[in-house]
């Protein structure tokens, strides 16, 4: 299987929902599940961000689902759109949506479903002006077909870039894994949690924990600092950020396919 990662970038004013992401850099959306056929698409998305931005998102989506003139990403008319907030907190949402598009040009999930067929697996992530898509595809011919149709179907103000076509990566690394953390740093974190270092108020200091473990205070502090930095990078990479990689030249894509 191959992983096809590409991004659609929006100009301001092209799409009301994406304008919210452009105006609120801390607003982030990532699919928990997404499925599509040639007729319909349904998905679960986790949104995180400032309370004000999420409230504005709620208003925009509620208006959009009631409007008969809504267009899909590539300009196809949306003939039916169901939307429901399944879980809500001040800084997060889990939302369900299901929609059907009319005849003509279709949005990316429908294009992918048409070319991949049964067994379609995909992910989507929105931040800022970018909506990034990841597809699992069995052959390069399908990659080329999807790329060409999406490129030709984009509405004005949208641009397409390809990040990579490679062996699957993100599908195998979902969530924070401790595999890349050295054993001594794992042990330091476990001890810090056990002794209440991360509780509020803090139950023990680094010095007190190091004395219990019979290791130098500076050594334990170093291991905790390194482990915390690793966890922070993992969290941002796996949970918040879209991939930032060298863009693939479309001519090279077509040649490889």
Q: pTM of this prediction? A: 0.68
Q: How does pLDDT run along the chain (257 residues), one tens digit per residue?
A: 889 999 999 999 988 889 999 999 889 999 988 888 877 889 999 999 899 999 999 998 887 766 555 455 556 677 778 889 999 998 899 999 998 877 777 788 888 988 998 888 899 999 999 999 999 998 888 999 999 999 988 888 999 999 988 887 666 555 455 556 788 888 899 899 999 999 989 999 999 999 999 999 999 999 999 999 888 877 776 655 545 444 555 555 555 54
Q: Can you name the CATH fold of 174-256? A: Arc Repressor Mutant, subunit A (1.10.10)
Distance CA 192, CA 186 (A): 10
Q: Tell me the torsion sign for CA atoms 13, 14, 15, 18.
A: negative
Task: Kindly list the domain boundaries of the chain, sorted by start residue.
Answer: 2-166, 174-256
């Amino acid at each position: 299987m191959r992983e096809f990662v590409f991004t659609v970038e929006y100009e301001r004013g092209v799409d009301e929902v994406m304008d919210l992401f452009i105006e609120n850099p801390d607003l982030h959306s990532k699919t928990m599940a997404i499925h599509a056929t040639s007729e319909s698409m349904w998905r679960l998305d986790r949104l995180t961000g400032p309370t004000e931005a999420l409230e504005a998102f709620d208003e925009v989506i509620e208006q959009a689902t009631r409007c008969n003139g809504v267009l899909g990403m590539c300009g196809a008319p949306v003939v039916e759109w169901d939307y429901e907030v399944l879980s809500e907190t001040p800084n997060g949402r889990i939302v369900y949506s299901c929609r059907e598009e009319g005849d003509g040009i279709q949005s990316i999930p429908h294009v992918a479903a048409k070319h991949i067929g049964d067994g379609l697996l995909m992910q989507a992530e929105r931040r800022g002006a970018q909506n990034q898509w990841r597809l699992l595809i069995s052959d390069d011919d399908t990659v080329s077909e999807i790329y060409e149709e999406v490129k030709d179907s984009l509405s004005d103000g949208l641009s397409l870039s390809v990040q990579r076509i490679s062996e699957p990566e993100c599908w195998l690394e979902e969530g924070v894994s401790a595999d890349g953390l050295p054993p001594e740093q794992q042990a330091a974190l476990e001890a810090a949690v056990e002794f209440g270092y991360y509780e509020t108020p803090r139950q023990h200091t680094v010095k007190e924990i190091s004395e219990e473990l019979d290791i130098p205070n500076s050594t334990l502090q170093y291991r905790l600092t390194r482990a915390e930095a690793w966890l922070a990078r993992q969290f941002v990479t796996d949970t918040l950020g879209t991939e930032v990689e060298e863009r693939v030249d479309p001519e090279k894509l077509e040649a490889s396919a």
